[in-house]
Amino acid sequence: MPYLFTSESVSEGHPDKVADQISDALIDNFLAFDPQSKVACETLVTTGQVILAGEVKSKAYLDVQEIARGVIRKIGYTKSEYMFEANSCGVLSAIHEQSSDINQGVDKQVKEEQGAGDQGMMFGYATNETESYMPLALDLAHKLLLELAVLRRENGIISYLRPDAKSQVTLEYDDNNQPVRIDAIVISTQHDDFGPEETMLAKIKSDIINILIPRVKSKYQKYNHLFTNDIKYHINPTGKFVIGGPHGDTGLTGRKIIVDTYGGKGAHGGGAFSGKDPSKVDRSAAYATRHIAKNLVSAGLCSEVLVQVSYAIGVAQPTSIYVNTYGTAKVSMTDGEIAKLVEGIFDMRPYFIEQRLKLRSPIYSETAAYGHMGREPEVKTKQFVTPAGEIKTIEVELFTWEKLDHVEKVKQAFKLS
């Protein structure tokens, strides 16, 4: 029987995403000057105020206030009428040294025996319904807001946009679990106060449907057929959205974990990513399981898969590895048997995850908005500045967990042609 499935996304100006981006900028700066830094940073943003808290063990000294302001400036909170502005907001730091009790379980004399930074379970998921091996509803929700941000920065065709925005896409699937049409699109975008409420709403709705949607379709041509004339649009359904960002809502690191991952498809272990260095398996193992899932699907082992791994704090070897192919496996093996072979292909000890995916590099700011998964791997040169003005230039590889570099190993292990 056909069914509906919905996923949402939020923009870089959403208060929770502002917090995520500040936390990950701190991670990047610590790793840039001391790759062995251990960091767990939380950020709270509200009207005119940023509060930083967390635990750090690092040789690096940073101007955390200026790093936070730089992130806020880049997002676009640069006007006093937003009630949250890069140059004038207060930034309070309550960051202190990491607990030695935790650190002794992570750092070991033999680096290969590095323990997991926490207990817990992490999930990776992949599906062949999109070229990025991501669920289509979430992929569309991200694309809508990415293009909306481009329009905001162009500041020409649509000049009234402000940084805060949310999207939601509902797809209809047929009996074969294939997406057949978009049932509904919800977009709420913060905007300038430029007239009577009815006039503003009519203008925004017209611009979203007649400018944003065609631009997304032109960049997403494979799925043009899903954009029918029967889509139900809910554009700024409350009517007015002038007050937004951290002034409209308090933002906290780690409150958008479903947006960060698979939009409600698959599963989530519950741990957030942003603000954590890769010794925290909440982050590194979630990336590693996505890497596994994507390579399994790309190799043709299955058309959809969920991979779970779990850890005990301070212990290197995972306590379990689980695979669920949802009955789509192309080999005559149980999911348990598949999991055993996967365990032999991908070493899931924390040190080896860090090495395989090059996670001790300043690569995290780019992950903090529009999803950690489904992105394009790329090599990028980044610059970092110390409080003394020293500039450090580093070439980094982004989104390594999205690389299809283990497809041949999977094919050989499972005897796939």
**Displacement of CA 34 from its chain's centroid (Å):** 24
79 is in an annotated binding site: no
When pLDDT is averaged across residues 135-156 and rounded to a whole number, the result is 95
Beta-bridge mates of residue 45: 50, 251
**Cβ-based neighbour number of residue 111 at 10 Å:** 10
By three-state DSSP, how is residue 26 classified?
helix
Could you report the per-residue pLDDT of 186-211, keeping only the tens digit for each? 999 999 999 999 999 999 999 999 99
For residues 417 and 409, give the distance between their C-alpha atoms in angstroms, rounded to a whole number.
Answer: 12
- To the nearest whole number, what is the mean pLDDT of the chain? 95
38 is in an annotated binding site: no
69 is in an annotated binding site: no
Beta-bridge mates of residue 138: none
241 is in an annotated binding site: yes
What single DSSP character describes residue 412? Answer: H
Looking at residue 119, its pLDDT comes to: 93
256 is in an annotated binding site: yes
H-run or E-run covering 126: strand 120-127
Could you report the per-residue pLDDT of 62-94, keeping only the tens digit for each? 999 999 999 999 999 999 999 999 999 999 999
Residues 6 or more apart from 123 whose CB is under 8 A from it? 261, 266, 267, 268, 269, 286, 289, 306, 307, 308
Give one word for 133, left, alpha or beta, with left for phi > 0 and alpha for psi -120 to 50: left
* 51 token code pair: 């509060």
Q: Looking at the predicted structure, is the pLDDT value of residue 109 above 70? A: no
304 is in an annotated binding site: no
For residues 71 and 251, give the distance between their C-alpha atoms in angstroms, rounded to a whole number.
Answer: 14
Domains in the chain, CATH or no CATH each: 3-10+136-243 (3.30.300.10)
Which of 82, 16, 11 has its CA nearest to residue 45?
16
16 is in an annotated binding site: yes
**pLDDT top residue among 73 and 389:** 73
376 is in an annotated binding site: no
Distinct helix (H) and strand (E) counts, the chain: 12, 13
255 is in an annotated binding site: yes
* 350 token code pair: 């924390």
Instruction: Give the amino acid at 74.
Output: K
165 is in an annotated binding site: yes
225 is in an annotated binding site: no
For residues 78 and 372, give the distance between their C-alpha atoms in angstroms, rounded to a whole number.
Answer: 26
Residues 6 or more apart from 282 whose CB is under 8 A from it? 117, 118, 120, 122, 269, 271, 272, 273, 276
pLDDT above 70 covers what percent of the chain? 97
For residues 396 and 100, give the distance between their C-alpha atoms in angstroms, rounded to a whole number.
Answer: 30
Looking at residue 99, its pLDDT comes to: 66
Looking at residue 390, its pLDDT comes to: 87
98 is in an annotated binding site: yes
57 is in an annotated binding site: no
* 242 token code pair: 């002038």
Residues 6 or more apart from 210 whose CB is under 8 A from it? none
For residues 320 and 108, give the distance between their C-alpha atoms in angstroms, rounded to a whole number.
Answer: 22
For residues 124 and 373, give the distance between their C-alpha atoms in angstroms, rounded to a whole number.
Answer: 9
Strands (DSSP E) along 318-416, which ranges?
A: 320-324, 378-385, 391-398
280 is in an annotated binding site: yes
207 is in an annotated binding site: no
Asked whether 380 and 358 are in contact (CB, 8 A), the reply is no
55 is in an annotated binding site: yes
Strands (DSSP E) along 254-376, which ranges?
A: 304-311, 320-324
- Helix 281-298, helix 335-345: angle, nearest 10: 110
Strands (DSSP E) along 206-338, which ranges?
A: 232-235, 251-252, 304-311, 320-324
When pLDDT is averaged across residues 316-326 and rounded to a whole number, the result is 97
Q: Looking at the predicted structure, is the pLDDT value of residue 105 above 60? A: no
Asked whether 56 and 97 are in contact (CB, 8 A), the reply is yes
Q: Looking at the predicted structure, is the pLDDT value of residue 102 above 60? A: no
Looking at residue 100, its pLDDT comes to: 64
Could you report the per-residue pLDDT of 331-387, keeping only the tens digit for each? 999 999 999 999 999 999 999 999 999 999 999 999 999 999 999 999 999 999 989
